[in-house]
Each structure stands twice: as structure tokens, then as C-alpha cells.
Amino acid sequence: MLRVAVIGTQGQLARSLAEIAAGDVTVTCIGRPQLDLAQPETVAPVLADLPVDLVVNAAAYTAVDRAERESDLAFRINCDGAAAVAAVCARRGLPLVHVSTDYVFDGRKAGAWREDDLCNPQGVYGASKLAGEQAVLAALPAAVILRTAWVHSPFGSNFVRTMLRLGAERDRLRVVADQQGSPTYAPDLAAAILVLARKLAAGGETGVFHLAGAGSTTWHGLAVEIMAAAGRRIPVDAITTADYPTPAQRPANSVLDTAKIASAYGIRLPPWQDGVRRCVARLLA
């Protein structure tokens, strides 16, 4: 039996991990108030003696725009809190999977981003997540950093749920069409992480990996797919980033190259469209 501790209880990934755990894997989700990454001193007392074989840090400050005015909090959670988790794992000799983001890149590359491409975050959120990656690897060089992108699920706040809500309220949608990425269905990501956890516990390769839904699209393309999956014939107008200004700058291209994890672990996620359809079907059921 593989015992996995997940940092986080209410996030999309944490809830997905708890939901799908079965068979030879048990998942224990730990979060506030007992363990709060915004208060790194709460980490060690909870994790120090917990009966566990592997840790997944699925908790993060993810409010991309609000981070521009709450930089101290974003760095405390995404960097200092993450470092505290890694430090306990290092002391106990526990494998760690630390979940990160496509926003560590500036979006200026033409093709998909590889793990060894230069990171150059354009906002506080991405900068805090990159600092977290570096802090985790400094404390635990054998950690796995798992970057993902455009996560959606039946839980919490995400683009799919927002589009379904707006599609029910409005007779026309306007969505940005000049930002490209790879939508990732959280239950698919969770299932892949549990596969990774089993192999990592047996001595698998560590380092930085990318994992996201196969293929790519724009926010506009994603919105069109959501409406189609929901059976709603609502016009979706394509607009530019300039037409929809936000406090934080988003990368124009954050498509992740996932060949490395496919080669090392045989892990590939389904096409992003498949995840969207399953997500919408569940939300409308």
C-alpha cells in the first residue's frame, strides 16, 4: 500500500486526487487550518511524523491577477510554504511531487516549451511559482517539479465552469483568441500523478517535467468547445488580449512539451477536447 499525503484540500487537483484514490494507493489531504502554507511554520509539526510514503504539494496561491497586489502572500505560499514542505521531505527521505505552472515562461517562444527552456515569468504569480520551484530543489534536489497548465475540473473556480455560467446568462460571449495553451482536466492529471507516485516511490527519475492535456488551443477555442459540449448554440466572438486587459500579463504561448515525462514514465494525458467533454458532461449531469 502506497500512502500519499496531499498538501491541499479544496483545490481542483487535491479534490481530484482524493476522489480517484483506490486500490494500492491511499490519499490523505492536509490543509488549513492545521497546515497552512501561508504560515510555513505550521508545515513541520504536521508532516514530521505523519505515516506517509510520498508527498504531493497541490496547494498554491493561484489568483493570477490578485497576486499583482498581494505579492508578499503569493511568495509566502508559493515559495516559503513550498520550501517548508520540501525541507520536511528531505529530512524524512520522502519523495515529493511539487506541482507548478506554465506561467514560469514568458510566452514568446513559437513552439512548445521544454523543461530546459529559459524561465522568464511576466507576473507575480509566475515569479512566485518559479521561486517555489527553485526553493524546493534547493531543499530537496531529488524532488519532482511537475508543471501543468489551464487546469479545469468539476470543482472550484475555473474557465470551464465560468464559461458555462456565462453561457447561461448571456446571448453572446467574447473570449481572447491570441493566447495559446493546453487545457488539462484535473482528474486526468490526478490519475497521472498517482501513476508517477507509484513509480517514483520505487526509485523513478526525478527533476522537472511537463504534463498537460494533449494538443493545444486558445481560450476562444476552448470556449467554443465548451459550448459545443454543452449543446449551447451561443456565438463566441474572438477578441485580442488588448481588448480584455487584466492586471497580470498572460503568456501568449504556454503550450508545454510533454515528451520528457512520456519517455521517462510512459505518461500521456488524453487530448484536451476529451477532458473538456467529460468535465462538461459531469457538470451538467
pLDDT of residue 75: 98
Per-residue model confidence as pLDDT tens digits over 69-107: 999 999 999 999 999 999 999 999 999 999 999 999 999
Check: pTM over 0.75? Answer yes or no. Answer: yes
Helices (H), 202-247: 219-230
Mean pLDDT across the chain: 96
Note whether 68 and 86 are within 8 A (CB): no
Ordered structural domains, the chain, with CATH: 2-157+183-213+254-262 (3.40.50.720)
Mean pLDDT of 237-243: 97
E-strand stretches of the chain: 2-7, 25-30, 54-57, 96-101, 144-148, 151-152, 173-176, 180-181, 184-185, 207-210, 217-218, 236-239
CA distance 200 to 227: 39
Largest CA distance in the chain: 56
From its phi and psi, is residue 284 left (phi > 0), alpha (psi between -120 and 50) or beta?
alpha
pLDDT of residue 252: 97
At 217, phi and psi to the nearest 5?
-160, -175
Catalytic residue status for 61: no
CA distance 238 to 224: 10
pLDDT of residue 24: 85
Strands 217-218 and 180-181: antiparallel
Mean pLDDT of 1-24: 92
CA distance 90 to 171: 54
Q: Catalytic residue, from 125, 185, 244, 265: name it.
A: 125
Pick 78 or 156 by higher pLDDT.
78
**Burial letters for 160-175: b for 16+ Cβ neighbours within 10 Å, e otherwise?**
bbebbebbeeeeebbb
C-alpha grid cell, residue 261: 515525462
124 pLDDT above the threshold of 90: yes
